[in-house]
Chain A
Amino acid sequence: MSPTLSVRDLAVDYELSRAGLFRRRRMVTAVSGVSFDIAPGETLGLVGESGSGKTTVGRAILRRIPTSAGQIRFEGQDITDLAGEPLRRLRAQMQIVLQDPYTSLNPRMKVGDIVAEPLVVHGLAPSREAAREAVAALLARVGMPADAAGRYPHSFSGGQRQRIGIARALAMKPSLIVADEPVSALDVSVRAQVVNLMQDLQRDLGLSLLFIAHDLAVVRHISHRVAIMYAGRIVELAPRDAIYDRPIHPYTQALLSAVPVPSPTVQRSRRRIVHPGESVDIANPPSGCRFHPRCPLATERCRDDAPPLADRGAGHFAACWNSGA
């Protein structure tokens, strides 16, 4: 089956804000050389720390920001340079769910209108009655009470607002949803409800899902495959259990070992790899492999050449010159 989404060598540059009239333009490469596929009905977890470029990748795929290199194919069609009406139509097929359920819903619109808006904008609701029915079905699908449509967002909790955001994203029957930190603003008990809902929807509707998050435990739970980003590049990509049980890249290993596990017995016996050093300054990235200043395995070669994301067998890719090669 051909992939729903196919990304090849994606790069995104940002211009640093200029202060002063005669300052030279400075470009920052937020993301470069990013390649991956998402199959129909597959969830790809995209993980990274702040500044890793994971959000940038999500926004570039949705064509919300300009790309500076590479190709994005959606259901076989090259959408990298799509514009105008075709882009507008494409956007119906790719939806986004955002992190903050408190700011991503218009507070002045009733929930019913928020969910119906995409249907109206894309001319898919022939009548008010049809729109109302569609909204009722969507709200029921995400576990919201029937009377929610007539109320405003402020009368709902964070978890319920996130359900509303998901209902809105589902309205267009998209084949791809990009969810950018959809549960990280939610409390633990409510987070589990929303994670379960997304998992159910993904299975029942056969959605492709790009699940962007920094929480490695949630990502393990929801993803089929996982990509780890560091400083604008994918450093490892593999089926879920492979990446968690047999991480290859030293950064992935450090990242996994740093996640606290809610079990005192396990915590006491775990070996933690605490790397010195700080998150990368993306405006002044290190040469070669961007992890080399913090890496225990770094050699001369790592300083000079960036390692490619190479196939290590069984769909496990890693970008490292030294580890497990």
Chain B
Amino acid sequence: MSALLKIEDLAVVFDTRAGTVEALRGVSLSLGRGETLGIVGESGSGKSVTAQAVMGLIDVPGRIAGGSISWDGQALVQDGAQQHPSGIWGKEVTMVFQSPMTSLNPLMTIGAQLEEVIRKHLGLGRAAARDHAAEMLAAVGISGARRRLDQYPHEFSGGMRQRVMIAMAIACEPKLLIADEPTTALDVTIQAQILELLAGLQERLGLSIILITHDLGIVAGLCHRVAVMYAGQIVETGSVDDIFDRPAHPYTQGLIRSTPRLDEPEDRLTAIEGTPPGLLHPPEGCAFRTRCPIARDDCRAPQALRPFGAGFVACTQPGVDAWGDGK
């Protein structure tokens, strides 16, 4: 599979009064055509910043401090410098955000907002754009699409608004859809509908998807490949089966263990003691070592992603059962 998106050694910082926050510290990723990649991590791990960098959305006080991003052979970021190619953002690469309540303009009808996107990127006329908008609403499972074009966002429920956002994101036949916590604000039964919609669209349109989430269950159900982030770095990548069945990094193992399961209740959850480090002065070496049960002296040296099994792990002792009860 040839890589459609390639991120190399990306660094993003935020300049604050207290100092420079190192939000991304050397992130490398690639994504193939038709692939769904899950980026998992806790708040502050850098998963959303990664998406924003791909979308060209890093803005003051944030800035790109190093690395490259290329899309289908074109540079989006070159050696730490933001490039501005046309016809990619919003057309070939689109994004759906967590909050469908705030990402729609409350003063414009759904139809007007959809048509605006369609006319801008596809260059269609008024009537054709309206037809296409109705088609898109129907494609995301909104019934009575034509009538609903004339309605305002407040007339839609949360789940329906997220469908509208997805319609808008796929209206220009993108090659990559980035979904940042797309179902976090939704009820679980509505979430199931949206996830099903995304899976269906991917199959039908051959989309690549980057799914950003903190919910391991969603990743397990939808993704082909997973990247686990911690403190601004990727600590492990691999196929979804490897990540869940044979997690090699102590943090990945701990994350999976500390997630309560509906199907296999346990008496006691494994808790990862402590909290993630601040990124104002990130620790030397492995950022997880202060919470890691098997940390040793050589963890103080920086850990790069190295091949392990079929994936990549940044750890001095990949594959060791860090939480020590053999499960």
Task: Please measure, in the bound complex, the distance between the C-alpha atom of A46 and the C-alpha atom of B219, giving whole angstroms.
Answer: 26
CB distance from A56 to the nearest CB of B (A): 16
A216 within 8 Å of B (CB atoms): yes
Q: Does more than half of chain A's interface fall in helix, strand or loop, or is it mixed?
A: helix
Chain A 225-264 interface residues, beta-carbon cutoff 8 Å to B:
241, 244, 254-264
Q: Give the top 5 A-B pairs by smallest Cβ distance, nearest first.
A: A260-B217, A192-B258, A262-B216, A49-B187, A187-B42
**Which of A50, A160, A192 sits near B187, CB closer than 8 Å?**
A50
Q: Is B221 an interface residue (CB 8 A)?
A: yes
- Establish whether residues A191 and B258, one from each chain, have CB atoms under 8 Å apart when the complex forms: yes
A1 touches B (CB below 8 Å):
no
In the complex, what residues of B have CB within 8 A of residue A258's CB?
A: 188-189, 191-192
The verdict on B159 contacting chain A, using a C-beta distance below 8 Å, is yes
Determine if B220 and A262 form an interchain contact, defined as CB atoms under 8 angstroms apart.
yes
CB distance from A263 to the nearest CB of B (A): 6
Q: Which A residues form the contact surface with B (CB < 8 A)?
A: 49-50, 157, 159-160, 187-193, 195-196, 199, 214-218, 220-221, 241, 244, 254-267, 272, 274-276, 278-279
**Cα distance A264–B219 in the bound complex, in angstroms:** 8
**Would you list which residues of chain B between 188 and 205 have a CB under 8 Å from chain A?**
188-193, 195-196
The answer for the CA separation of A215 and B256 in the assembled complex, in Å, is 16
By a CB distance below 8 angstroms, the chain B residues around A215 are: 260
The stretch of B104-112, B164-172, B263-271 that contacts the partner chain: B263-271
CB-defined contacts of A192 to chain B, threshold 8 Å? 258-260, 269-272
| In the complex, residue of chain A having the shortest beta-carbon distance to the beta carbon of B41 | A187
Most chain-B CB neighbours within 10 Å: which of A192, A258, A262?
A262
In Å, the complex CA distance between A157 and B43 comes to 12
Q: Given the interface contacts A188-B259, A260-B215, does A254 sit within 8 Å of B269 by beta carbon?
A: no
B149 adjacent to chain A (CB < 8 Å):
no
Q: Which residues of A contact B254 (CB under 8 A)?
A: 189
- Which residues of chain A have C-beta atoms less than 8 A from B193's C-beta? 274, 276
A278-B276 Cα distance, complex, nearest whole Å: 37
B13 to chain A, nearest CB (A): 22
A214/B244 contact (C-beta < 8 A), A159-B275, A196-B268, A279-B159 known: no
State whether B263 touches A261 (Cβ < 8 A): yes
Contact of B188 among A157, A214, A241 (CB under 8 A): A214
Q: What A residues does B255 contact at CB under 8 A?
A: 188-189
Asked whether A214 lies within 8 Å of B245 as measured between CB atoms, the reply is: no
Distance in angstroms between the alpha carbons of A73 and B185 in the assembled complex: 35
* Interface presence of B18 (CB below 8 A): no
- Bound-state CA distance A263–B263 (Å) is 10
Is B240 part of the contact surface with A, judged by Cβ < 8 Å?
yes
Residues of A within 8 A of B190 (CB): 49, 278-279
| Residues of B in contact with A, size category | 35 or more
Chain B residues near A255 (CB-CB < 8 A): 188-189
Q: Which residues of B contact A187 (CB under 8 A)?
A: 42-43, 214, 276
Contacts of A265 in B (CB 8 A): 241, 244-245
Q: B154 contacts the other chain (Cβ, under 8 Å)?
A: no
A95 to chain B, nearest CB (A): 23
Given the known interface contacts A193-B273, A261-B217, A274-B193, the answer about A49 and B188 at a Cβ–Cβ threshold of 8 Å is: yes
Choice from A50, A160, A196, A220 contacting B265 with Cβ under 8 Å: A220
- Residues in A whose Cβ lies below 8 Å from that of B158: 279
| B157 in the interface (beta carbon within 8 A) | yes
Instruction: Write 16 A-B pairs (CB below 8 A) sorted by A numbering.
Output: A159-B275, A187-B43, A189-B271, A191-B258, A196-B271, A216-B262, A217-B261, A218-B260, A221-B260, A254-B189, A262-B217, A262-B259, A264-B240, A265-B241, A276-B193, A279-B157
Residues of B within 8 A of A189 (CB): 42, 254-255, 258, 271-272
Q: Which of A49, A189, A257, A274 is the most central at the interface, judged by chain B CB atoms within 10 Å of its CB? A: A189
Residues of B within 8 A of A199 (CB): 268
CB–CB B261/A261 < 8 A = yes
- Write out the residue numbers on chain B whose beta carbons fall within 8 Å of the beta carbon of A217: 259-262
Name the contact of B271 in the complex, choosing from A193, A266, A274 (C-beta under 8 A).
A193
Distance (whole angstroms) from the CB of A317 to the closest CB of chain B: 21
Q: How many angstroms between the C-alpha atoms of A38 and B268 in the bound complex?
A: 23
Contact with A along B145-171 (1 / 0, CB 8 A): 000000000000111100000000000
Give the interface centre of A221, A259, A264, A272 by most chain B CB atoms within 10 Å: A264
CA distance A218 to B261 in the complex (A): 8
**Known contacts A50-B187, A214-B187, A244-B262; 4 further A-B pairs (Cβ under 8 A):** A190-B275, A261-B220, A261-B261, A274-B196
- Nearest chain-B residue to A222 (Cβ)? B260
Most chain A Cβ neighbours within 10 Å, of B160, B192, B272: B192
Give the residues in chain B near A254, CB-CB below 8 Å: 189
Chain A: minimal CB distance from B304 (Å): 23
- A53 CB to nearest chain B CB (Å): 14
Q: For B75, what are the chain A residues with a Cβ–Cβ distance below 8 Å?
A: none
Q: Within the complex, which residue of A190, A244, A264 is in contact with B241, where a contact is CB–CB below 8 Å?
A: A264
Bitwise interface map of B from 224 to 261 toward A, beta carbon under 8 Å scored 1, else 0 = 00000000000000001100110000000011101111
Whether the pair B188, A216 counts as a contact (CB closer than 8 A) is yes
Q: Are B244 and A263 neighbours in the complex by a CB distance under 8 Å?
A: yes
> Does B81 belong to the interface (CB within 8 Å)?
no
B269 touches A221 (CB 8 A): yes
Q: Which of B59-112 contact A (CB under 8 A)?
A: none
User: Chain A: which residue is nearest B141 at the CB level?
Assistant: A276
Q: How far is the CB of B111 from chain A (nearest CB, A)?
A: 20
Q: Which of B218, B258, B263, B275 contacts A188 (CB 8 A)?
A: B258
